[in-house]
A = this chain, B = another copy of it.
């Protein structure tokens, strides 16, 4: 298929969207079949169900015209599928779509209104019809928005606007141990211009989003040593160095009075998102009181002068995740322990190198160590932040497509946490990633009564139909 003109493009897309409308009931039936398979990857009792879910995905992709197969791994199998245009063009784009067919465990079972693997439509006053089942939103419903869009394009026109490979894993909810070796072994086969991932959310019910900024991570475990053995605080307290004091002093010095990280060089070279994006975030009407109130807080901590969204999406942090040292049992034990340990993690933004941050942290510790206190480190590592360029052609094309469907442009949002697949695709396959999903904050993923709004499902499929068209039309 060659797309000749904007007019032709529009006509082809409209027929695809019409086809999606006609197929809605059938699409929902297909999704329900998928949701009925209890593909819980973390529980060995469900291994056969995971294999069945992989086979179901491969069958579905084969049925709509993909060359699909199930590839065994040491864990759960991968689904790999390709659709390639017969006439190859130089300018023809290739994308890799990623999703996962495994789901979280369903317990506590007694908190579900219906059995978690007996999907059903539930009418809701606020959301309208909702698809309720384990995996409805994370990630089976989201995956099927893309596959239904591809089905409609192929059914209507016999072709897709871009070449598409599909990779579906079955271990996303259990640490993805097979993913990195699989990507390494199949790098050539999976190579594409960029990746599409449907495992994220919208800004809100009416506002689509592309997740374009992801903080990186550096982590370190520090052990402060002092006396060669635990001491009695009566017989040694005063003249003997207490590692707990030294550790507290170092950790208290991590931030200045304005909440900035006080490690020299920490902010060197950081790159912030474009000012236009930050300005857009400020207009989102983010409800800081609700965000904090939902976890029992009321006052923003962290760096003064930055809004909460800006802090979460575009500012680095130094966070202590655990401190353990000395006596922790019931009652009193007047001990000066010989050592004390803390675990820290640093959320990073573009421009920060995890290795250099760890080095700066070590230098900072050295500067704050009192006499007779030593520092050793363990379990260190990290990955850099990701900040995609929202003005890059693929982002602009996807943005226009989402605006056409939702009536407003998508927000280029950030995510305070890493998304491992993004890091894997970037580091192993050298690909940028378009993170577009239709989940909502109240979808109850990982919780009882997980749901996906029917509107998320239908408009999600329409969104992908439009995005595929837009990516195909990129010049």
A239 lies within 8 A of B328 (CB): no
| A265 touches B (CB below 8 Å) | no
Q: Is the CB of B416 within 8 A of A237?
A: yes
Q: Shortest beta-carbon distance, A220 to chain B, in Å?
A: 9
Q: Once bound together, how far apart are the Cα atoms of A238 and B341, in whole Å?
A: 22
* Those of A263-304 within 8 Å (CB) of chain B: 288, 291-292, 295-303
Check A324/B323 contact, CB under 8 A, given A239-B302, A416-B237.
Answer: yes
A125 within 8 A of partner (CB): no
Known contacts A251-B252, A332-B321, A341-B328, A299 near B372 by CB under 8 Å = yes
Smallest CB–CB gap between A419 and chain B, Å? 10
A301-B340 in contact (CB<8A): no
| Inter-subunit contact A238/B321 (CB<8 Å) | no
Question: How close is A83's CB to chain B, nearest CB, in angstroms?
Answer: 35
The answer to whether B323 touches A248 (Cβ under 8 A) is yes
CA A215 to CA B255, docked complex, whole Å: 36
What residue of chain B has the Cβ atom nearest to residue A231's Cβ?
Answer: B295
Q: Is A305 an interface residue (CB 8 A)?
A: no
Check B302 against A244 for contact (C-beta < 8 Å): no
* A322–B320 CB distance below 8 A: no
Judged by a CB distance under 8 angstroms, whether A308 is at the interface is: yes
User: A315 at the A/B interface (Cβ < 8 Å)?
Assistant: yes
Of A105-113, A128-136, A222-230, A390-398, the stretch lying at the interface with chain B is A222-230
Given contacts A327-B322, A347-B234, contact A372 B334 (CB under 8 A): no
Which of B242, B317, B418 contacts A319 (CB under 8 A)? B242
Neighbour of A311 across the interface among B232, B239, B321, CB < 8 A: B239
Measured between beta carbons, the chain B residues less than 8 angstroms from A328 are 322, 324, 341, 343
Identify which of A226, A234, A300, A336 gathers the most chain B CB atoms within 10 Å of its CB: A234
Q: Decide if A331 is an interface residue (CB 8 Å cutoff).
A: yes
Query: Within 8 Å of chain B (Cβ to Cβ): is A440?
Result: no
A371 to B296, CA, bound (A): 12
Tell me, yes or no, whether A217 is within 8 Å of chain B by CB. Answer: yes
Q: Is A417 an interface residue (CB 8 A)?
A: yes
Name A297's contact: one of B240, B342, B416 (CB within 8 Å): B240
The one of B221, B240, B297 in contact with A226, judged by C-beta atoms closer than 8 angstroms, is B297
| CB of A300, distance to nearest CB on chain B (Å) | 5
* Binary per-residue interface labels of chain A (123-158) against chain B in the complex, 1 for a CB within 8 Å, 0 otherwise: 000000000000000000000000000000000000
A379 at the interface (CB under 8 A from B): yes
Determine if B417 and A234 form an interchain contact, defined as CB atoms under 8 angstroms apart: yes
A233 located at the interface, meaning its Cβ lies under 8 Å from any Cβ of chain B in the complex: yes
A416-473 interface (Cβ within 8 A of B): 416-418
A254 within 8 A of B: yes
* A238 in contact with B347 (CB, 8 Å): yes
Chain B minimum-CB-distance residue to A259? B238
Chain B proximity of A286: nearest CB distance (Å)? 11
Contacting pair B418 A244 (CB below 8 A): no
B417-A232 in contact (CB<8A): yes
Q: Judge whether A16 is part of the interface by a CB distance below 8 angstroms.
A: no
Q: Can you show 19 pairs from A to B with CB atoms below 8 A apart?
A: A227-B297, A233-B319, A234-B416, A235-B312, A235-B416, A236-B295, A236-B312, A237-B416, A239-B291, A239-B301, A241-B301, A248-B323, A252-B253, A298-B372, A301-B372, A322-B326, A324-B328, A326-B343, A333-B343
Known: A227-B295, A321-B326. 4 other contacts (CB 8 A): A235-B416, A299-B371, A323-B325, A328-B341
6 residue pairs, one from A and one from B, having the closest CB atoms: A234-B417, A228-B296, A322-B326, A252-B252, A238-B311, A299-B371
Interface set of A (CB-CB < 8 Å, partner B): 215, 217, 219, 221, 226-229, 231-242, 244-245, 247-249, 251-255, 288, 291-292, 295-303, 306, 308, 311-312, 315, 317, 319-328, 330-338, 340-343, 345, 347, 370-372, 379, 415-418
